[in-house]
Amino acid sequence: MAASALLLPVQPLMVSAVHTGMMEVAFAKRALKYPELRMAHNVHKMSSLLGGVLFIADDVFPRTPFIHAAWHLAAAVGVGTCNKLLE
C-alpha cells in the first residue's frame, strides 16, 4: 500500500492498472467458485476495460468534454458490482 501511495502522483495509470488487475483476479476466483457471481464479474470486467480506455482517452484528449465524467461513471459501475462480493 505504501508503494501505491508513493507511485500514485508519478504513475497513476500504472497504479490503477495494478489495482484493477488484482481486483479482477480476486473477482474471477470468486466467480469460478460461485457461478451466480459470473454476471456481476462480467459487468465488472467490462466496466474496468471501458474505464481503462476512458482513463487513457482523458489524457490523450484532455479538451474533449465528458470523457472524465464517463470514466467516473464506468468506475462507479465497477464499484457497484463489488457489492455482490460482500453478499
- Decide: pTM greater than 0.85: no
10-18: list long-range contacts, CB under 8 Å, 24+ apart.
13/55, 13/56, 13/59, 16/52, 16/55, 17/52
What local confidence, expressed as pLDDT, does residue 9 receive? 85
Cα–Cα distance measured from residue 1 to residue 16, given in angstroms and rounded to the nearest whole number: 12
- Over the stretch 26-84, which tens digit does the pLDDT of each residue have? 999 999 999 999 999 999 999 999 998 998 999 899 999 999 999 999 999 988 988 88
CB 48 within 8 A of CB 26: no
